[in-house]
Amino acid sequence: MTEDHRPPAPSPEVDPGDLGEEDQGPPPGDGATVVTVSLPATHAKERLDRVVARELGLTRSFATKLIRRGHVALDPPERVKPSFQCGGGAVLRVILPPPQRLELEPEPVPFDVVFSDLDCIVVHKPAGVVVHPSPGHWRGTLVHGLLHAFPDIGAVNGIVRPGIVHRLDAGTSGLMVVARNMWAHDALSRSFRDRRVRKRYLALIHRPPAWTRQEIRLPIGRDPGHRLRMAVNADGREALTEVLVLRNLPRHALVACDLHTGRTHQIRVHLTFLGHPLVGDRLYGSSYPLPEGFDRVFLHAWQLAFPHPRTGELLSFQAPLPKDLLSVLQALR
């Protein structure tokens, strides 16, 4: 165990599930680090989880886990919880468990690197690649490929999702940003949460719409009649999609979709609700025939813009349509 009286550099985060019974609070075990943070007397009252996350460069969710497991103590002593209002003059003692070995074997996985620096990576994910390990997909995910190409992300954000701050469905191609350290992970997560990230998708829909621009503000929740589907649901979460028609075809239309929220299957659910399911979508548009030889949803993460996690500079990227989507588009003209 070591003791440090200064906020550390961005530190690796262990998976909350790896904080077992033996780690439920002080004293710290071998390899743990104790960090002491003193708040200035002028510091306004603020939630403890926010203070811990900001001062130590952690995500809010991980800071919350540390507090609930008794790894955060105050001087003078107080009974604390994540929502505890921490004021000026307080001294925090935080126990950071040692990083856990990542139980994933790096392997080469196809994807293109569009941009990389010491804080983040922008990749162009091909269709068919699952983002992170999950039941039925324990090998060959984007995470396995990232670990192979960028070993330094192995300790970022836990055991099975190192560096991942957002995701794309397996069948969706296009741009993603990945964090290379916990400081960048927290900054990128805040940008997504505060809706400072611009995500624009290209989609091919059935039936040319009568409109050229549409704002779809409809809540999305689980479909009570189908466990695999989402649906427009009055009890669901807020969802906003802006749609712009780029080109009308005889029986289809190419549209650009701006996502202002990130609900599961949001574009597919919203456009299906308006009567325009996406080409290739067996889950939401099963009554429409598939183009010959085409076996995925026509959906592509086309443009991505976000403030750089360290400098704040706005970074913008664009990924052209892959060949399989271009072939479908040309065939349906």
For β-strands 33-38 and 2-4, DSSP reports them as parallel
CA distance 110 to 140: 9
- Kindly give, in sequence order, each residue whose CB lies less than 8 Å from that of residue 198, ignoring residues fewer than 6 positions away: 258, 303, 304, 305, 306, 316
- Which tokens belong to 44? 């306004």
Q: Please state the φ and ψ torsions of residue 47, each to the nearest 5 degrees.
A: -55, 140
Residue 318's DSSP bridge partners are: 303
Q: Transcribe 204-258 into DSSP letters.
A: EEES--S-SEEEEE--EEE-TT-TT-EEE-TTSB--EEEEEEEEE-SSEEEEEEE
Amino acid identity at 103: E
User: d(Cα 284, Cα 277) in Å, to the nearest integer?
Assistant: 7
Chain mean position to CA 221:
19
Let me know how long the chain is. Answer: 333
CA distances from residue 287 to 206, 282, 283, 284, 315 in whole angstroms, order as listed: 11, 8, 10, 9, 40
Q: Are the C-beta atoms of residues 48 and 16 closer than 8 Å to each other?
A: no
Place of tokens 């922008």: 122
Q: Which of 112, 169, 186, 235 is catalytic?
A: 169
| Segments in 278-317 forming alpha helices (H) | none
* Cα dihedral 83, 88, 90, 92 sign: positive
- Packed helices 60-68 and 48-56: angle between N→C axes, nearest 10 degrees: 120
Active site residue 169: yes
* Residues designated as active site: 169
